[in-house]
């Protein structure tokens, strides 16, 4: 699998802090984040210290010195044929994909993965398969088995889907982390979102969710360590905050005093907290490497 590399860079392997553009979509009225047009949002993202945008505007990203990553759903062999030339032409760095619907046979799954790997190689373009609901990687066991057949596969670790969807805390979570070591070792892109066993997206830094925050930090550290163990000079891993609005059934809503529904938190402010969390994880991963 092609990997993320800064062309010609002699810098040590690095962590890049990015954001998914939908994190800024329809922020609640009380949010301190950008609510203007696309230009204002891209400018605010750059000023906040993010280095790239997933699904950003290519022209605005170039104007504000932001890197650009893509995202797509791929359901059939051949679906990438139209997407990859466009991504290359518009200077995207890489792409994360939802692959299949999760109801494919092993043969159909293998055909999809083979097409992704071959397409990535053909276009010299990194493609990371997301660990996501309603895809071929929705199940932890099946994903580990997939690694056995395709050790060259690389992932976007979006662990909220397993944590909630497979209720990872039900039983011995440490044994599940050990079981998932082949996946953690192959993560080269991370979606920043924390869930609990029943909700796909919860607020961080609240007392009721501290256990889940620590669990996600552990999965991120293991993924960052997997990257560091095999990274070369100039390689980087993207941590992309992806906090989605309530219309997508991610952000939880509550009734205010006037009985109007509103999101429980400021997704923009949460995104800034995620920056600090992942930097702590990065330092922890580097210490474990020694």
Provide the residue ranges of all domains of the chain, joining segments of one domain with +. Answer: 14-289
Query: Locate tokens 């969807």: which residue?
Result: 165
Q: Is the pLDDT of residue 203 over 90?
A: yes
Rounded Cα distance, 212 and 80, in Å? 35
Distance from first CA to last CA of the chain, Å, rounded?
26
269 is written with which tokens? 């402010």
Average of per-residue pLDDT values in the chain: 95
Q: Say what the pTM is.
A: 0.95
| 192: CB partners within 8 A, 6+ apart | 239, 240, 241, 242, 243, 271, 274, 278
Rounded Cα distance, 163 and 290, in Å? 29
DSSP 146-200: HHHH-TT--EEE-THHHHHHTTTTSS-HHHHHHHTHHHHTTEEEEEE----SS-S
The pLDDT tens digits for 232-253 are: 999 999 999 999 998 888 999 9
The pLDDT tens digits for 22-73 are: 999 999 999 999 999 999 999 999 999 999 999 999 999 999 999 999 999 9
The pLDDT tens digits for 139-175 are: 999 999 999 999 999 999 999 999 999 999 999 999 9
CATH topology of domain 14-289: TIM Barrel (3.20.20)
Distances in whole angstroms, Cα of residue 202 to Cα of each of 21, 142, 192, 249, 250: 19, 27, 12, 12, 8
Tell me which residue of 226, 224, 236 sits closest to 5, measured CA to CA.
236
Cα-Cα-Cα-Cα dihedral sign, residues 255, 260, 261, 267: negative
């Amino acid at each position: 699998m092609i990997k993320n590399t800064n062309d010609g860079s002699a810098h040590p392997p690095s962590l890049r802090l990015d954001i998914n553009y939908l994190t800024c979509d329809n922020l609640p009225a009380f949010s301190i984040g950008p609510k203007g047009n696309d230009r204002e949002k891209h400018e605010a993202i750059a000023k906040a210290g993010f280095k790239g945008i997933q699904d950003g505007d290519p022209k605005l990203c170039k104007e504000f010195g932001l890197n650009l990553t893509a995202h797509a759903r791929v359901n059939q062999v051949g679906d990438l044929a139209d997407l990859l030339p466009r991504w290359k032409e518009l200077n995207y760095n890489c792409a994360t994909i939802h692959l299949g619907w999760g109801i494919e046979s092993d043969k159909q799954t293998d055909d999809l993965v083979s097409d992704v790997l071959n397409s990535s190689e053909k276009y010299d373009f990194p493609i990371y398969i997301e660990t996501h609901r309603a895809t071929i990687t929705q199940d932890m066991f099946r994903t580990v088995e997939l690694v056995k057949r395709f050790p060259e596969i690389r992932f976007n670790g979006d662990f909220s889907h397993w944590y909630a969807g497979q209720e990872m805390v039900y039983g011995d979570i440490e044994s599940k982390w050990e079981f998932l070591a082949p996946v953690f070792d192959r993560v080269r892109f991370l979606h920043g979102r924390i869930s609990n066993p029943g909700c796909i997206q919860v607020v961080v830094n609240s007392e009721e969710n501290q256990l889940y925050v620590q669990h996600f930090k552990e999965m991120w550290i293991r993924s960052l360590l997997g990257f560091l163990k095999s990274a070369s000079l100039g390689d980087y891993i993207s941590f992309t905050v992806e906090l989605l609005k309530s219309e997508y059934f991610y952000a939880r809503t509550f009734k205010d005093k006037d009985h109007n529904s509103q999101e429980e938190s400021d997704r923009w402010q949460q995104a800034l907290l995620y920056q600090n969390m992942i930097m702590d994880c990065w330092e922890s991963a580097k210490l474990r490497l020694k």
